[in-house]
């Protein structure tokens, strides 16, 4: 009995599919298929007796409706597609979790696609998504190629973009202004007497947008052009340590650092401690994301908090409204952000 012998599926699994249909239930209950359908979708004007009969038949057969047939007939798939760069990385997680839950509560399911980093893969993904005829698409943290955006738009499927307040949304948008984040953090630091600002960021678009307004605002406030260092995404703790070392070597008078993620900020805090640099005394540190450990660090991390779950819940609301053709209160939902002031700055 070699362990490596091939293993067939269990005998009780006949095939990938459920065989009970409306017709089977109807036959068992002694009614027409249509009546069974009505029991499921509009039981109000059926006799109590037939409803009971049919319910019993459904129960005993274990019938579950086939949503492919439903979708084909009604052109409503009750499926929403979510596109994000990658599932790895904690930033969008809360949003996707809340989105999934919000959709489930409204009777919709979520299909996920990772656009990844190749645009060939992205093209395939778009085709796969369109072929499913989802009732809506939620884009999260994705900047598509123009061609991709064109195809998505041409499909006629409602689209909600999230996490970004771009100047020209495709349709609905749920997010916050990264420009405002950069500006406010710069004001915050300068307001607390910092003079030599720096930024350590990941090389993604959103981080870059925060950087430009951070820099612009710093100049406007008269503390000169900040220094910036970018690391390739996903930015991790180790990058923070390393980058701080390099940055301080070149700019030892830096007195404030804005990190584009709390993970980077944690690395900065650890490296600062290793070098005996006083935080916030000599160096102020501000993170981004308010991850669950940030309040517990020593010193506790001052950071920018964004309500990820709220974005997901709002996105669920918006995309379902669009799917049903219902009007929306507004096109742009700005969920804002807050600077959570703790000990590190």
Partner DNA sequence: TTGTACGCGTTATCAT
Partner DNA sequence: ATGATAACGCGTACAA
Summarize as ranges the residues that interact with DNA (CB under 7 A). Answer: 19, 21-23, 31-35, 37-38, 40-41, 45-47, 49-50, 65-66, 69-70, 72-75
Q: Name the residue nearer to a copy of itself (CB basis): 52 or 274.
A: 274
Among DNA, a copy of itself, none, the one that 335 touches (CB under a kind-dependent 5 to 8 A) is: none
Among a copy of itself, DNA, none, the one that 96 touches (CB under a kind-dependent 5 to 8 A) is: a copy of itself
Nearest approach, Cβ of 245 to DNA (angstroms)?
57
Report helix angle 178-191 to 205-220, nearest 10.
40
Outline where DSSP puts E strands in 60-206.
79-84, 109-114, 136-140, 159-162, 172-175, 197-202
Nearest approach, Cβ of 83 to DNA (angstroms)?
22
Among DNA, a copy of itself, none, the one that 22 touches (CB under a kind-dependent 5 to 8 A) is: DNA
Q: Name the residue nearer to DNA (CB basis): 5 or 19.
A: 19
Greatest alpha-carbon pair distance for the chain in Å reads 86
Nearest approach, Cβ of 13 to DNA (angstroms)?
17
Q: Name the residue nearer to DNA (CB basis): 30 or 191.
A: 30
Among a copy of itself, DNA, none, the one that 23 touches (CB under a kind-dependent 5 to 8 A) is: DNA
Among DNA, a copy of itself, none, the one that 93 touches (CB under a kind-dependent 5 to 8 A) is: a copy of itself
Q: Which stretch of DSSP H or E encloses residue 285?
A: strand 284-288
Burial annotation 115-139 (CB, 10 A radius, 16+ → b, else e):
beeeeeebbebbeebbeeebbbbbb
Nearest approach, Cβ of 293 to DNA (angstroms)?
47
Closest CA to 202 of 178, 221, 220, 180: 178
Q: Report residue 320 as tokens.
A: 């379902």
Nearest approach, Cβ of 149 to DNA (angstroms)?
23
Nearest approach, Cβ of 190 to a copy of itself (angstroms)?
30
Contacts of 93 by beta carbon, 8 Å cutoff, 6+ apart: 308
Among a copy of itself, DNA, none, the one that 7 touches (CB under a kind-dependent 5 to 8 A) is: a copy of itself
What is the C-alpha to C-alpha distance for residues 319 and 110, in angstroms, rounded to an integer?
A: 12
* Angle, CA of 301, 303 and 308, to the nearest 5°: 125
Nearest approach, Cβ of 65 to DNA (angstroms)?
4
DSSP H helical segments within 30-145, as ranges?
A: 33-41, 48-61, 67-74, 93-105, 119-131
Among DNA, a copy of itself, none, the one that 220 touches (CB under a kind-dependent 5 to 8 A) is: none
Q: Name the residue nearer to a copy of itself (CB basis): 255 or 307.
A: 307
- Burial label for 46, CB within 10 Å (0-12, 13-18, 19+), is middle
Q: Name the residue nearer to a copy of itself (CB basis): 8 or 281.
A: 8
Q: Name the residue nearer to DNA (CB basis): 3 or 19.
A: 19
């Amino acid at each position: 009995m070699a362990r490596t012998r091939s293993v067939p599926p269990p005998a009780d699994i006949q095939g990938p599919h459920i065989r009970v249909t409306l017709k089977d239930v109807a036959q068992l209950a002694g009614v027409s298929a249509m009546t069974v359908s009505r029991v499921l979708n509009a039981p109000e004007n059926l006799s109590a007796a037939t409803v009971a009969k049919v319910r019993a038949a459904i129960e005993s057969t274990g019938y579950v409706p086939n949503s492919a047939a439903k979708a084909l007939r009604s052109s409503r798939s009750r499926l929403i597609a979510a596109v994000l760069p990658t599932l790895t990385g904690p930033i969008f997680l809360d949003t996707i979790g809340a989105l999934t839950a919000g959709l489930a509560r409204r009777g919709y399911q979520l299909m996920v696609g990772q656009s990844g980093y190749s645009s060939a893969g992205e093209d395939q993904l778009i085709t796969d998504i369109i072929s499913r005829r989802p009732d809506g698409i939620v884009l999260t943290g994705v900047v598509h190629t123009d061609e991709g955006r064109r195809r998505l738009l041409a499909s006629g499927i409602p689209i909600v973009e999230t996490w970004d307040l771009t100047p020209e949304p495709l349709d609905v948008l749920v997010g916050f202004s990264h420009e405002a984040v950069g500006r406010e953090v710069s004001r915050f630091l300068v307001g607390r007497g910092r003079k030599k600002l720096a930024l350590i960021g990941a090389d993604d678009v959103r981080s870059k947008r925060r950087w430009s307004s951070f820099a612009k605002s710093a100049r406007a406030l008269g503390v000169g052009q900040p220094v910036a260092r970018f690391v390739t995404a996903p930015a991790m703790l180790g990058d923070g340590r390393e980058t701080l070392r390099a940055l301080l070597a070149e700019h030892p008078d830096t007195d404030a650092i804005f990190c584009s993620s709390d993970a980077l900020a944690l690395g900065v805090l650890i490296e600062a401690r290793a070098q005996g640099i006083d935080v916030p005394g000599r160096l102020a540190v501000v993170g981004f994301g308010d991850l669950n450990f940030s309040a517990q660090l020593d010193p506790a991390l001052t950071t920018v908090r964004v309500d990820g779950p709220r974005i997901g819940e709002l996105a669920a609301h918006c995309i379902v409204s669009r799917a049903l053709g219902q009007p929306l209160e507004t096109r742009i939902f700005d969920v804002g952000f807050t600077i959570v002031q703790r000990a590190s700055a």
